[in-house]
Structures are given as structure tokens and as C-alpha cells.
Amino acid sequence: MAALLLLLLLLGAGAAAGCGYQSCPPTRPGLLNVHLVPHTHDDVGWLKTVDQYFYGVRNSVQRAGVRYILDSVVASLVAEPSRRFVYAEVAFLARWWAQQDQATRQRVRQLVHEGRLELVGGGWCMSDEAAAHYGPALEQLALGRRFLRRELGGCGAPRVAWQIDPFGHARQLAAIFAQMGYDGLFVGRVDHQDKARRQELRRMELIWRASTSLRPPAADIFTGILPNVYNPPDGFCWDQLCSDPPVVDGDTVENNVDTIVSSFLKVAHSQAEHYRTNHILMTMGSDFHYENAHLWFSNMDQLIAHVNARQANGSRVHVLYSTPSCYLQELNRANLSWSVKTDDFFPYADGPHQFWTGYFTSRPALKRYERLSYNFLQICSQLEAVAGAAAREGPYGSGDSSVLREAVAVLQHHDAVSGTAKQDVTDDYARQLAGGWQRCQVLVANALAALSGSKPDFVFCDALNVSVCALSEAAARFSVIVYNPLGRRLSWPLRLPVSGAAYAVLDAQGRPVPSEVVPVSNVTRWLRGGAGAARELLFQASVPPLGFSTFSVSRLRRGEPPRPPKPTPRLSPPREIRNEHVRVLFDPVTGLLEQIENLDAGVSLPVLQSFYWYNASTGNSESSQASGAYIFRPNSSDPSPVSSSKGVSTYLVQNSLVQELHQNFSSWCSQVVRLRAGQPYLELEWTVGPIPVDDGVGKEIISRFETPLRTGSVFYTDSNGRQILERRRNYRPTWDLNQTEPVAGNYYPVNTRIFIKDEKVQLTVLTDRSQGGSSIFDGSLELMVHRRLLCDDNRGVGEPLSEPGATGRGLVVRGRHLVLLEPVASAAERHRPLAQELVVAPYAVLAAGEGSSFSRGRREFSALRTELPPNVHLLTLAAEDDGNVLVRLEHQFERGESVNGSQPVTIDLLSLFSAFSVVSVQELSLGADLPLDAVSRLVWTPDTGPSQSHPSAKLDPRRVRLEPMEIRTFLASVQGGL
Ligand SMILES: *[C@@H]1O[C@H](CO)[C@@H](O)[C@H](O)[C@H]1NC(C)=O
Ligand SMILES: *[C@@H]1O[C@H](CO)[C@@H](O)[C@H](O)[C@H]1NC(C)=O
Ligand SMILES: *[C@@H]1O[C@H](CO)[C@@H](O)[C@H](O)[C@H]1NC(C)=O
Ligand SMILES: [Zn+2]
């Protein structure tokens, strides 16, 4: 050991052997070691599109060109062996890599092998944490990590998670980092009150225990809070984008070495006061820095030389080029015990009136498109695995899932799904998703043709949300193929625009399926701008797990259809709608939702639901802070009702399949309160926009539920769509909160659900995209559905959030809230599977004709031998290039949450699939980039005492056991199939 150390010292820092922790530069035990971490923060789209950033286009908007950054950094590293650099965003690196010759690639591999170029984070992008669902967040990390392993080898595997810019941090994502094998996580943004206190107590570094279900240390991750978000200390910014004085050490009146060294020593000592060891880290870089890397590096070379020269005169500071993992290794060696944190880092505020809680809702249409695209990616990916090569190349052309996978990965970026990019960049994100959809639709068509053994003209109706579909509107006969990506049979509601008055629907076995025809609602008609059919055909499609079923539809009468039945607006609203499970009462005067009854459980609750708007602050005497894309700041805690005091106008649609009360709150806000036959929950389909701003007032629209539940300030929201966290109004678990924004400071990300409860009853609202939500007074909960603002909030995007929409008059957004009223004990059993159904929903493909070629083929198919148990979700089924199949299975309940659901469960992986037979199985890390038994992590000591490490049991693929909240990743080699 001593000999090795000596050798390292002799060879100098640059010549260290081997990558990883072995390659770290030597430090000086008795001194304060300042680890300079040169880095660039390259947003995967923000003020410019991804392509514009990569190529350096539109430098008048922002001077930034990532290809030049990578060129320049590599040259600077090669020029001087002691220099180091870290890089994070694989979306850019992969693109640059594709353009490099073999010699450059070899140089880069060499730098990585020597530990001089370190990959940190290593996802396709640095994902958002509030609006990112765990499914796509996990996949984008895996996508980046697998690229790095493939192209750069084991030394390319990131050991440090690098979330230096996201606007708050989620517990579920931290758990994912831990399970992917990261040794530590560095974050830049935590609440200003939290940070001040942590600095004072030297708790800037801690162990985050990110799961209450997984046994420690499985979901423990060492977490470091950076001193200056991710910027260099003041006065030491030497990029071409900065204007701090460079180090001048020549014989000139400009010589400033003494000043610079003294001020650096001062900064280092004051930073060290907030950290526990004789090591501190300084991030030397910022947004799109290092396009001319020489400026940064030559100044740091000089800084290092002059600061360390002071040691001869008694200075106790040693400064060195380093990386986050080398810094982490020093902390690990310090052998301290660290405080444990179990809550999360939401909401984030960088000042008393600066809560970054607006982006939880910003750009609701993009947030929905992202969620829907992840849904379609799962379908595409599953069919690619199930139908094999026939899915990629087939009668409909070449398809594959990679374009959509990369687009969905890009959308996880902390300025993408967060809604904080400029409008034209947002449009480009949508363009990228659309390109991925096209390739996947070809794949889905090929796969369905191969699996059914027929070759019809498939039609993809992408505008069913506004009831537009040319085929169903015109055709007298057509087929509907419904694919179900979930592991259990589902009854899925279909709603297709049609012109006829009555239809016969037959299932795959030729049995009649009950159907109804209803008029298209006024709101939908107005939304789609006049075009389209007058009616909608409704039926419930029962679809097998991980498979499809075919329904044939034929118009019953020929000739001109009679005029559709017109629903008559009623003078007084109906008192109730009901099905066999739920009864819903309305206020006969106002037309508002008034009470919900769960008839199965015999529980009922008064629930008043209505829409309100907060008046967006444009700044006031307390603070000039305006509400904007990032920040939510209402100018009053009392929102105004959207409807007039007389209530809402309503009309009723009732038939054997559905009961709907249509409520019109205003010319720009409406809702359908819907109960379908057989559904044990209530659906609220809201349509909001264009939000009027002609009065010069920005508006933030909420749907609020008021109940008499005694909730004692407590409510619950999910973390990345998975774990549930308890929230308490005007309270933070880790510090004594000084609440300075009574509404915005109580908003939390609602990725998939929010609920309130008392000892007996739980009211849960599931969302179809990420939104902001809260419980502003006891018994209430609210979700922000849409916002339109007139001011920029001064966090860089430089535009007021006022989406024009297709018409230019303002964006209209439609979405759904699913409302469950359940006894507390059975609530999780209902909302867990329903939330998966919302994220990974069935998808319908239409085909012209009936009795055509399609009906001669296989009309129903399931890739599973049996349904999955109710507590298991098939998170991933994806084809590998070598013909293997990647499978992720997860237990979708938390420990102790449900009597039945929270039981461990065992799956037979070898006989799970009918589409192919599994020959052998290897268990991988969660990132699917290395075998599970090759994962080794640094061991940290919590101040609560060391945790026992649990070696994973030997895998028996016939008995794969899943504990609550566990996700297991397998590489299966398969045979047979198509
Ligand atoms: C060390 O101190 C001496 C005497 O004050 C001074 O001349 C010399 O420049 C100092 N060296 C450094 C590196 O600051
Ligand atoms: C639909 O709109 C038309 C024209 O604006 C109106 O006359 C009719 O009453 C509306 N129908 C319902 C059910 O609101
Ligand atoms: C709470 O914060 C406000 C705004 O910064 C400040 O004026 C007030 O003094 C703080 N109160 C306490 C008790 O710290
Ligand atoms: Zn950023």
C-alpha cells in the first residue's frame, strides 16, 4: 500500500494506474484539500433545441455549442495529464461520439481509463425529479449507462449520480440511484432555509434513506449538497462566457497573483466551515462552459500552482484537479458516521417568496404527451420483444422502438417535462416524440400482422381525445384491435367518432358486445373546430394480458342516419348518477358535485368539487417575484371561482354503459363527471382553456375538492408515481419551517396521485400527468391543472408562460382525474393497480373492413401463460439486439400498505411467457448494464448505527421472489416465438 502510494507520488497525478477509485489524485492528509471539479452543464434543450445546442446554432439566443465543448475539453485533457473533467449528458456525448474517428475515440477511452475524464450521472439527460415518472426516469438512466458501458467499457460506468440543477429532489429517484449501484449523489438545489441550517450544522452531506420498504442499505444513498448550486465560487469563473479577471503572474502591473490567491484561500476556508472533513469540492464550470476549454484550464493550472506554492509559507490549503468520485472516496475514508434523511427535497425555494412549485404544472399538454409517449413506448417495446424480427421488418416497412425510447429519454430532462423550456424548444420536444411514434406505429402494425397472421390496412387514430378518426367516421364496417400492455385482463372503454345511429360490435369470438351511440359533446365539437362526426360509439373491450383482442364494428342501418338525439339542457340539474359501485350526488341548485358514495363498502362522504383560479402575482411590495414557468406565486391565498355564483349549467347523458353529467363552468372551463358501468371509481374529465388573460391578469387554474374529513393538516402525495409520502401543511420534517408563502409553499409534485384521509375513509385523486397539488385547508385537496401567465419569473427561460395553442388564442388542455372513495384499509389495493392502468393503458388500432383478411387471422392473443398477481407489475419487456429479452418485474405495493397487496410474491419466470420460452436467466443491476453480482458499493455508516448488508440469494428463475417495492431486472435468453 505504502509502495503504491509512493509510486503514485513519483509518477505524478496524471499517471495514476487504472480507472475508478484507483485513479484518484493524491491528496495531502494534514491540509485542507480543495477538489476542483471542472464540468459543463449542458441542458438537453432549454433556450435552444437539442440540435441547436449540439451544433452551436442560434448563438444570438445563447452562446452554446456542445460539439465544440467536447472537442475542446478532450484536447485540453490530452495537453496536460493532471487535468480532469466530468461529463454528464449522454444524449450529447452519444451524438458527438458518432461523429468521431477511431483515433479520437481511442483517445477518449484512454482518458476515461485513466480516470481523467469521468462520466457522472450518465443518464441520457439529467432528469427532472418532480414531473418525471419512475418508469421513464429509470429507462433514461439505463439508456445512458448502457451506452457508456458499450462504448467506453467498465471505466465508463458512472459511480456518482449528478443531479446538480433539478429544482428539488425526489425520494423515489434517490432509491433508483441506490439500486443502480451509484455510490453517491450530488445535488445543487435545496431549499434556502434547509441549506442555511445544514451549513450551520455541517449537515451538507448525509445518508438519504430513500425507501421505507427496502431493507437498508438497499435504498440508502450518500448525498452531498454542493456549495454554489453548480457554479464556481464568486470571482473564479474563467470561461469565455464569464468576465472574472484571469490569473496574471507575469512581470506586469496587471499581476494579481497575491489578490487571487488570498481571495481563493478565504473562499476555501469559509466553505470548509460548512463541511465535515478536510476535503471540499468546488464545481468549476456552469451552463455550456468549456467551448474554449483552454481559458478555464490554463487559469486553473496557474491557480493550483500559486495556491499550493503558498504552502511553503505556511498555507494549509492544497488545491487539486479532481472528480466527484475522488472527492467521495476521501469522505468515505474519513470513516465518519453521517446523519440520515428519510423525507425528500420538495418543495424547493431559493428565497422567501420564490417557491419552484409552478413547474409541477407548467405546460400540461407536454406533460400529458410525455406520459402518453412512455405508454406507447412500452407497447412498442413489448411487441418488439414478443414478435421479434417480424416486428422490425414487415409488410408496413421498418420500425423500431429506439427513436421513441431516445425521445422519451430526452423528455425527462429537467427543462423538458418540467415545462421550463422556451415555447419553440417545447415544440421541438413534441416533434421528437412524434418522430418516435411514427417508427413505433410501423413496428406495432408489423407485430400485429405477424401475431394475427393477416395484413389489413391499419389506421392509427391519434386524435381520439377530440373524437376525430377518419376511418370510424366514414366506414360502415371496421375492426378495432385493442392491445393491453398490462399483465392482467382489463375491460377497457372505447369511444370512437361515428356517423351512424346504431352499430353491432362483436368480440373476437363473434359474440355481441353491448354498445351505445351518444352525441359528441359541444365542447369536443368546438375543440376539434367543426370537423368530424356527430356521434360517438361506446363499448367496453375486454382484453387479455399482454396481448390483443379484435372487435368488429358494423353499422346497423343503411342510408342517411337520423338526426342525433339532442340532449336538452335542464332547468334543474339531476340529483344523482350511479352505477352498481358508486353513487354521486349533485347540488340541485348549483349543479356541482356534492357527495360520493361507495356502495360496495357502504361509505359516503360529502365532496364539493369546483374550479378556481389563483391570481398570478406580478410582484408586490414584499417581493418583486412574479409567478412564472418555474415559480408559483399567487397574489392572494383565496382563489376565485371559475363559475358564476349561480353555479354551472349541466346536461345529462345516460345509457346502459355510461352516466355522464356535463358541467359548464365558463366559456373556457368544463367538465364531464362520468361513471361507467362496472367501474368502481368516478372519472372527472376536465377541459380548460384558452385561459383568458385580456384583463391583464395571469391565472392558475385549480380543481378543488372540499370534504368534512378531519385531516389535521396532513395529506399524501406520490414520489415519481411510486412511493407515497406524507405531507403536512406549513411543516417540513427536517427543519423548523418559517412559512412565507401559505399556498405556493405547501404545493408538492403530484406525479400520479394525491389523497387525504381520516381514520376510516380515504379520498384519492389519480392524475393522468404530473401536476402540482396541495391541501390548503383541512379536508380539502386541490390540483393545479393549467396556468397562463403574463410575466417571466426571472429564472432564465426569459418568456412568460403563455402557451398559444394551435389557434394562437391560448392552449386548451383536456385531462382526467380518477376519484376513489375507499375505506382506508382497502385504498391501496384500489389505487395501486388503477394508477398503473393510467400510465400503461391499452391502445386501439383500427383496420378497414370487417370480414376482410383480418378476421381470418388470429383475433385474440396473449403473450402470458397466466395473469400476473395483482401486486406485480411488468415494468419492462424489451428486445435486445442479440435476441435476448430484458425483463423488469416489480412489486407495486409498499410494506405495510395493504393486507393482501403488501405480501411478498413469487413468480415463475421460466413459464411466465407463452410468446417464447425462456431458456436461461441472468439477474442484472437495475440499470441493466452489469450483472447484479458485479455491483459493489461504498459502505457508509449512518449515525443511527451500521446497517447489515444483505447478500442477494442465488437466483432460482422458477421462484423469483419480490418483496414490497422491489424491482428486479433480468436478461432472459429465449427460444421459439415467431
Ligand atoms: C513567501 O513569503 C515571502 C516573504 O514574505 C515572500 O517573499 C514570498 O513571495 C512568499 N511566497 C509565496 C509563494 O507567496
Ligand atoms: C350546444 O351548443 C349549441 C350552440 O351553441 C346550443 O344551442 C346547445 O344548447 C348546446 N347544447 C348543450 C347540450 O349544451
Ligand atoms: C420568516 O421569514 C420572513 C421573510 O424572510 C422574515 O421576514 C421573518 O423574520 C422570518 N421569521 C422568522 C421567525 O425567522
Ligand atoms: Zn439545467
Q: What is the DSSP string of 136-194?
A: HHHHHHHHHHHHHHHHH-GGGS--EEEE-SSSSB-HHHHHHHHHTT-SEEEE----HHH
d(CA 307, ligand 1 centre) in Å: 12
Q: Measured from the CA of 313, which atom of ligand 1 is nearest? A: 1
Active-site hit among 165, 239, 768, 778: 165
| Cβ pair 637, 735 in contact under 8 A | no
Instruction: Name the residue with cell 512581470.
Output: 251
d(CA 463, ligand 2 centre) in Å: 23
Nearest CA to ligand 1 atom 2: 313
Q: What pLDDT is recorded for position 856? A: 64
Q: What pLDDT is recorded for position 881? A: 87
Ligand 1 pocket residue status of 309, Cβ below 6 Å? yes
Angle at alpha carbon of residue 293, lines to 292 and 296, rounded to 5°: 110
Backbone φ, ψ for residue 373 (5° rounding): -70, -35
Instruction: Sort strands 576-578 and 512-513 into parallel, antiparallel or unpaired.
Output: unpaired
Topology of domain 2-59+66-341, CATH = 7-stranded beta/alpha barrel (3.20.110)
| Cα within 13 Å of Cα(321), Cβ side | 26
Domain boundaries, the chain: 2-59+66-341, 364-563+840-862, 872-936+952-975
Taking the C-alpha atoms of residue 478 and residue 717, their distance in angstroms, rounded to an integer, is 43
Ligand 2 pocket residue status of 595, Cβ below 6 Å? no
Nearest CA to ligand 2 atom 4: 522
Taking the C-alpha atoms of residue 829 and residue 480, their distance in angstroms, rounded to an integer, is 31
Give one DSSP letter per residue of 543-612, joined into a string: E-TTEEEEEEEEESS-SSPPPPPPPPPPSS--SEEE-SSEEEEE-TTT--EEEEEETTTTEEEEEEEEEE
d(CA 71, ligand 4 centre) in Å: 21
Ligand 1 pocket residue status of 314, Cβ below 6 Å? no
Does the domain formed by 872-936+952-975 have CATH 1.10.645.10? no
Q: Measured from the CA of 569, which atom of ligand 2 is nearest? A: 13
**Sequence-ordered list of residues with C-beta below 8 angstroms from that of 44, at least 6 positions apart, any chain:** 50, 53, 89, 91, 92, 124, 125, 126, 410, 413, 415, 416
Q: Measured from the CA of 651, which atom of ligand 2 is nearest? A: 13
Q: Which ligand is nearest to the CA of 287?
A: 4
Locate all alpha helices (DSSP H) within 760-877, ordered by sequence: 824-839, 853-856
Give one DSSP letter per residue of 932-951, joined into a string: GGG------EETT-PPPP-P
Cell of 201: 450544522
Nearest CA to ligand 1 atom 1: 313
CATH number of 364-563+840-862: 2.60.40.1180
165 is catalytic: yes
Domains 2-59+66-341 and 364-563+840-862 fall in the same CATH topology? no
d(CA 201, ligand 3 centre) in Å: 20
Does residue 313 come out as left (phi exceeding 0), alpha (psi in the -120 to 50 range) or beta?
Answer: alpha
- Where the chain has pLDDT below 70, the residues are 1-18, 558-573, 850-856, 977-978
Cell of 958: 422458477
Among 191, 738, 739, 741, residue to substitute to test ligand 3 (most atoms within 8 Å of Cβ): 738
Distance of alpha carbon 170 from the chain centroid: 10
Q: What pLDDT is recorded for position 9? A: 36
d(CA 272, ligand 1 centre) in Å: 24
Nearest CA to ligand 1 atom 4: 313
Distance of alpha carbon 700 from the chain centroid: 22
d(CA 568, ligand 2 centre) in Å: 8
Q: Measured from the CA of 664, which atom of ligand 2 is nearest? A: 14
Based on DSSP, count helices (H) and strands (E) in the chain, helices before strands: 19, 48
Q: What amino acid occupies position 298? A: S
Taking the C-alpha atoms of residue 415 and residue 654, their distance in angstroms, rounded to an integer, is 43
Cell of 167: 429544482
Q: What pLDDT is recorded for position 562? A: 52
Taking the C-alpha atoms of residue 157 and residue 119, their distance in angstroms, rounded to an integer, is 7
Q: Measured from the CA of 738, which atom of ligand 3 is nearest? A: 1
d(CA 363, ligand 2 centre) in Å: 30
d(CA 198, ligand 3 centre) in Å: 18
d(CA 259, ligand 1 centre) in Å: 13
Q: What amino acid occupies position 753? A: R
Ligand 2 pocket residue status of 539, Cβ below 6 Å? no
Ligand 1 pocket residue status of 310, Cβ below 6 Å? yes
Taking the C-alpha atoms of residue 302 and residue 235, their distance in angstroms, rounded to an integer, is 15
Among 247, 261, 311, 313, residue to substitute to test ligand 1 (most atoms within 8 Å of Cβ): 313
Nearest CA to ligand 2 atom 11: 522
Among 518, 520, 521, 522, residue to substitute to test ligand 2 (most atoms within 8 Å of Cβ): 522
Q: Measured from the CA of 521, which atom of ligand 2 is nearest? A: 13
Taking the C-alpha atoms of residue 843 and residue 272, their distance in angstroms, rounded to an integer, is 56
**Sequence-ordered list of residues with C-beta below 8 angstroms from that of 896, at least 6 positions apart, any chain:** 902, 964
Ligand 2 pocket residue status of 567, Cβ below 6 Å? yes
Taking the C-alpha atoms of residue 566 and residue 561, their distance in angstroms, rounded to an integer, is 14
Pocket lined around ligand 3, Cβ cut-off 6 Å: 352, 738, 740
Neighbours of ion ligand 4 (CB under 5 A): 43, 165
Nearest CA to ligand 2 atom 2: 522
Q: How far is the CA of 193 from the CAs of 260, 355, 977, in angstroms?
A: 31, 12, 58
Cell of 731: 411543516
Q: How far is the CA of 572 from the CAs of 311, 592, 651, 847, in angstroms?
A: 86, 12, 9, 43
Give which of 478, 480, 460, 476 is closest to 468, Cα–Cα: 460
Q: Is 109 exposed, middle or buried (0-12, 13-18, 19+ CB in 10 A)?
A: middle
Nearest CA to ligand 3 atom 1: 738
d(CA 306, ligand 1 centre) in Å: 11
Side by side, which strands form the sheet with 515-519? 490-498, 535-543, 515-519
Does residue 56 come out as left (phi exceeding 0), alpha (psi in the -120 to 50 range) or beta?
Answer: left
Q: What pLDDT is recorded for position 569? A: 54
Cell of 912: 411466465
**Sequence-ordered list of residues with C-beta below 8 angstroms from that of 897, at least 6 positions apart, any chain:** 724, 828, 964
Ligand 2 pocket residue status of 651, Cβ below 6 Å? yes
Give which of 133, 179, 155 is closest to 409, Cα–Cα: 133
The H or E element that residue 196 is part of is helix 192-201
Task: Give 675's strand partners.
Answer: 659
Give 245's DSSP letter. P
pTM for this structure?
A: 0.95
Q: What pLDDT is recorded for position 571? A: 54
| Cβ pair 325, 224 in contact under 8 A | no
Q: How far is the CA of 803 from the CAs of 26, 62, 113, 420, 759, in angstroms?
A: 53, 22, 47, 12, 42
Q: How far is the CA of 313 from the CAs of 248, 309, 317, in angstroms?
A: 20, 8, 11
3-state secondary structure of 343: coil
Taking the C-alpha atoms of residue 491 and residue 678, their distance in angstroms, rounded to an integer, is 9
Locate all alpha helices (DSSP H) within 840-948, ordered by sequence: 853-856
Ligand 1 pocket residue status of 313, Cβ below 6 Å? yes
Taking the C-alpha atoms of residue 714 and residue 818, their distance in angstroms, rounded to an integer, is 21
3-state secondary structure of 107: helix
Nearest CA to ligand 2 atom 10: 522
